[in-house]
Chain A
């Protein structure tokens, strides 16, 4: 009998959480990917750039996690666990690069859950959107994640 996901989670908005970007974290992230761009790694290049400081790589907002809005918390609420899930899709919209020393506010919401028959059995797709705003409450980016749950 396949797991029944808790569909009441659709529409759930997680409590907003703030993230302050650390300079070292941007560099650690770029190095983990193996991206040597000096715009991520070299403070002097960053300072001389149009952004006035280093910037984060395009996928850096994936590090914006919070106890209340992270995947394990969501999975518990859905009635499943980490061994059953795969990352299906991911999208970033970037209005402005993320930068060190700034504090961003993240608002995450479950926007949809749908089911499909997969090659290895029934699967559910959980769609989560996170809006990232800066100190002036302007949107700097959005993330859309689709988590696949093997039911």
Chain B
């Protein structure tokens, strides 16, 4: 059964994804993400280690924020529709930060049965500072 959250025909350049709000970030989520991802860098767990490393304290895995951006994409496009996601980690996400993920359609293309939509994606903290910026491509089903 092929499901669709959105069809290629219904997408227009300039369309915005519904914003996805994640957080406030808690230490327990970073610990959980470490276990789930296998990234046990103490810089995300141990405040003293992070301070000694000159980072001013614990901060979130960049990959957790990327996971949030991926969720914003799949909430809109459907699970399994992401073909490409590339991001730059622009600023650190700290404990108690609220991360809001956004996306905007920048182009559409169709070739035979494949309907691709390219998007700008980004995430901001509660002060409106970009913490993640990137590009994504999703493949959407067609109504025909």
Does B7 have its Cβ within 8 Å of any Cβ on chain A?
Answer: no
Chain B: CB-nearest residue to A50: B2
Q: Which residues of A contact B71 (CB under 8 A)?
A: 33-35, 37, 57
Q: Which residues of B contact A40 (CB under 8 A)?
A: 79
Is the pair B32, A58 in contact by a Cβ cutoff of 8 Å? no
Is the pair B37, A29 in contact by a Cβ cutoff of 8 Å? yes
Does A139 have its Cβ within 8 Å of any Cβ on chain B?
Answer: no
Q: Please give the number of chain A residues whose Cβ is less than 8 angstroms from any Cβ of chain B in the complex.
A: 39
- Distance in Å from the Cβ of B72 to the closest Cβ of chain A? 10
Is the pair B84, A63 in contact by a Cβ cutoff of 8 Å? no
Does B68 have its Cβ within 8 Å of any Cβ on chain A?
Answer: yes
Does A87 have its Cβ within 8 Å of any Cβ on chain B?
Answer: yes
Give the contacting residue for A39; candidates B54, B80, B85; CB below 8 A: B80
Most buried by B among A25, A89, A97, A144: A89
Can you list, as one digit per residue, whether each of A14-46 has a CB less than 8 Å from chain B (1) or not (0)?
Answer: 000000000001001101111101011000000
Does B13 have its Cβ within 8 Å of any Cβ on chain A?
Answer: no
Does A88 have its Cβ within 8 Å of any Cβ on chain B?
Answer: yes
Does A83 have its Cβ within 8 Å of any Cβ on chain B?
Answer: yes
Is the pair B1, A88 in contact by a Cβ cutoff of 8 Å? no
- Distance in Å from the Cβ of B141 to the closest Cβ of chain A? 10
Give the contacting residue for B66; candidates A35, A59, A63, A94; CB below 8 A: A59
- Distance in Å from the Cβ of A79 to the closest Cβ of chain B? 17
Is the pair B73, A87 in contact by a Cβ cutoff of 8 Å? no
Q: Which residues of A are interface residues toward B (Cβ below 8 A)?
A: 25, 28-29, 31-35, 37, 39-40, 48-51, 55, 57-59, 62-63, 65, 71, 82-84, 86-95, 97, 144, 150
Q: Which residues of B are interface residues toward A (Cβ below 8 A)?
A: 1-3, 22, 29, 32-33, 35-39, 41-43, 49, 52-54, 61-64, 66-68, 70-71, 73-75, 79-80, 82-89
